[in-house]
Structure 1
């Protein structure tokens, strides 16, 4: 008998909480698909850094498990509350608490098993889609195939089953403490709207709005000075997201009591009372949903930032097919050329030197003017701190001395890249620098007086084409001077640039790396203190610097590294968004039976079917819109700040609002699906 009763209740629960069941199925499929990346043997063979992707997805899964556990616990308790009268009747007809509790646990376990089995099948399909997208992003020609890994399956089972069993255990403990009276009254606890100190509570609404406004002004004006101050503001913002709903509910109640102008227009009184009651009883849940929405927005925005960097900047980072650096200024790169020739063929090559003349005029100006360094290399009076500049900061942004290149080598490299050649007068120079740095500094050459052997050099031109300036052709910049002048300077380090004839193999960069190690650095014995000619530039957030650069190999490696960020961010954002919308949907659909009587009353006093549908739409729209708008405002402020910083430090040219706008558009698409499903289900329930 209990088995048949459990199956009947499962069918009813699956119908009443279809949105919840579908969401859990989708979460299982996502969890299985992303876990499969962790245990993918193909990825482990391709990349030594596969452990990084596994670690990032593992961290993402940890946070997702916490939220899924919260959702399951919330839904199990919610369904217990809604069915408490039914369970009270079971006790009245002779069933004991253990039997009723066991029946409820069987129902939920059956519901969970069904969601898991269906989700697992969908997850196998989603696994293929995910791998196709990943291989497309990293531009690897590998045909995905169905791969069922036992460890992946076990990890998914443990995560999902652990969440379910923990929620059922907590619910079972609560059930044992309840008696028949408690069960019969459980679903009526939130029916009465208790109004107490509402005039005082309503002040929380303007306080919350003012705090959010102050937070926006503070963060967008760049006043983040210390981690402590940021932590205080973020904690205040977190609290604000919860007290906002207490203030909003109290404000609506006071407005209704004052009989405001809009109260008696149409069905506003009905809607305002319903909305205030729901906010008052669900203020903590609404605050949590706001946090989930905000994380979803920001996760998607961060993923878009790194995706745009890959699309806009990555190709410019490695302009040469192959490039090799040696600290030994006399190194001839014969071994490297032999390897490249054997593996890919040499179409054109250039062995050249980077020079210095024991001056650091350009370095000094950049150290004291770039935002990257702040005031680190300035004295209190604003003048350059030469002692610190000579020592360097330890981050190897620039070499100890300014870096120079001869015009003939420069033109040879430009021809290899398809650029036009340049000419120079005797006392002229060309400043080749990163476009990102030039956007910040503009033409500053009038402020820099370059001297060489007592002669002043003037800038003829500033060039900003891609030129491999992350430690190879200088860090951020290189000064190009005539050959007759470069011959009088001191060789600093040597470089090799190669154009190849055919596609390079996947292991070419590894073969070049095997030629050098810490003790035999490309033909030069390397000592820890002998690093004054090592520089990497001022790129931040996304950086890549290496002695040996093979464009195809390095690009694939960077794409994979970026995927380690973008995929978990999208994973977290999508799951958090679906979970938050599920709670909103289930709350309204489960209350539709209670609202059926209320809408029947509205029908009897003269409202037509279309007017009732419009009222339902307005009720659901306000309920859905409230946490979405609050989270959009807060996450929009943070996303704009993050986007501006990301663009500044990486050189991406995407408008800062675009990151959040695309995230909001994606959110809106999922929002419409859930809202539409809830609206259709709500109308069907009240019209039955």
Structure 2
């Protein structure tokens, strides 16, 4: 402007410069972002244990949407820059960089109060999050509202911490004359002071994005665990067939049907027996069933091995109980079932397991008593089961056959 260049020409030069820088940044961001997305995808795949997943592809729709977002945001930034430059005078240009040297906080007391308040807000947000993320409360309608509130408070806390930490670090450096006047530390400190505002906002935004990414990853892991648990409860084996009406079906016919489309690695047939004394059933509900479902130890261990679980051992005076996790409270810590009478023998409870339970383990869908093989002789067979492990992944079409 001192040389006589018009303000509009200066504004045009600055806008052109920013447009060229923006185009270069956009072109450079695509390959860097692609490589970074592959890295993040590999981490997520490893954490969620997704097998044989490859993400090497380019989505042109995503690139197009990125270009649209980038252009819209950049257009708004350029318009704001153009508006500010058109209003600036020679005095404003000469002292423009002095504005960056103004401290964000004029007093240390206000800064320290804001820092402590941000810390308290962050702790309160985490406590609120932890209080609602429980098995009893995560299904409540108001849980989502509380989680959104806690996340919003946590984001505000992070911005406050980032803003105050930059000023606190700068104050600590400038207080020490030995550090301030040593080598080029003064120039570095002034540069840091001029960038403190932008850095605080940038670090706050990055922290927020990292936080949201971790929360999404945490939520994905939780969903993956829920889905995995649901599969383990409903269909832990490739094929699960049972018959509870006599005369029982011949499972060889089912095996032939399965063998038409799948390669059978292993198959197990086992029986569920009735214990008419129903000593365990009394603590569940005798409204529909007046017996305890019983399984042989050898059959149970075969099922465990098929699921890559550790087999168990029982002495001649021990029994084992398998039940649903949601019904564990009915028998856990119950002294009445520590010792039962079975086949005129006194059996002691060795333990209770919920990991190996699934809903069709027997027709009652509540629990199964595991006893040594010799004790099931003479008991009535309640139902027969066929479990098959196939080389290929089974589909719902097999159920329709």
Q: With structure 2 as the length reference, what TM-score do the two structures score?
A: 0.64
Match of 2:112 among 194, 197, 202: 202
Q: Secondary structure at the match of 1:92?
A: coil
Change (3 A) 1:123 1:92: same
Alignment match, 2:16: 103
Matches within 5 A, 1:586-601: none
Q: CA deviation at 1:484?
A: 4.5
Match of 1:292 among 190, 194, 209: 209
Runs of 5+ unmatched residues, structure 1: 1-87, 366-385, 391-398, 516-688
Q: Is the 8 A contact 1:320 1:498 kept in 2?
A: no
Change (3 A) 1:287 1:96: same
Alignment match, 1:165: 71
Q: Is the 8 A contact 1:203 1:247 kept in 2?
A: no
Deviations 1:360-388 (A, max 9, x none): 956957xxxxxxxxxxxxxxxxxxxx8xx
Give distance in 2, aligned partners of 1:137 and 1:470: 22
Give distance in 1, aligned partners of 2:283 and 2:209: 46
1:405 correspondence with 2:294:
yes
Alignment match, 1:662: none
Change (3 A) 1:91 1:292: farther
Give distance in 2, aligned partners of 1:415 and 1:232: 44
Deviations 1:95-139 (A, max 9, x none): 6478447624641454156326x729x9599879979x9799654
Give distance in 2, aligned partners of 1:421 and 1:445: 22
Q: As a proportion of its length, which structure holds more strand?
A: 2
Q: Is the 8 A contact 1:362 1:448 kept in 2?
A: no
Deviations 1:241-275 (A, max 9, x none): 2223454466668879xx9xx63343399577765
Matches within 5 A, 1:83-162: 92=5, 96=9, 99-100=12-13, 103-104=16-17, 106-108=19-21, 110-112=23-25, 114-115=27-28, 119=31, 123=34, 138-139=50-51, 152-153=59-60, 155-162=61-68
Alignment match, 2:254: 336
Q: Is the 8 A contact 1:354 1:473 kept in 2?
A: no
Asked which structure has the greater RCO (Cα within 8 Å, sep 6+), the reply is 1
Give distance in 1, aligned partners of 2:176 and 2:289: 73
Q: Is the 8 A contact 2:118 2:160 kept in 1?
A: yes
Q: As a proportion of its length, which structure holds more helix?
A: 1
Deviations 1:562-602 (A, max 9, x none): xxxxxxxxxxxxxxxxxxxxxxxxxxxxxxxxxxxxxxxxx
Match of 2:240 among 321, 324, 327: 324
Change (3 A) 1:160 1:234: closer
Q: Secondary structure at the match of 2:179?
A: coil
Runs of 5+ unmatched residues, structure 2: none
Match of 2:155 among 219, 235, 238: 238
Q: CA deviation at 1:236?
A: 2.9
Aligned-residue CA RMSD (Å)? 5.8
Q: CA deviation at 1:161?
A: 0.9
Alignment match, 2:180: 267
Q: Is the 8 A contact 1:190 1:281 kept in 2?
A: no
Change (3 A) 1:183 1:96: same
Alignment match, 1:538: none
Give distance in 2, aligned partners of 1:223 and 1:147: 36
Q: Is the 8 A contact 1:327 1:494 kept in 2?
A: yes
Q: Mark the structure with the bigger radius of gyration.
A: 2
Q: CA deviation at 1:441?
A: 11
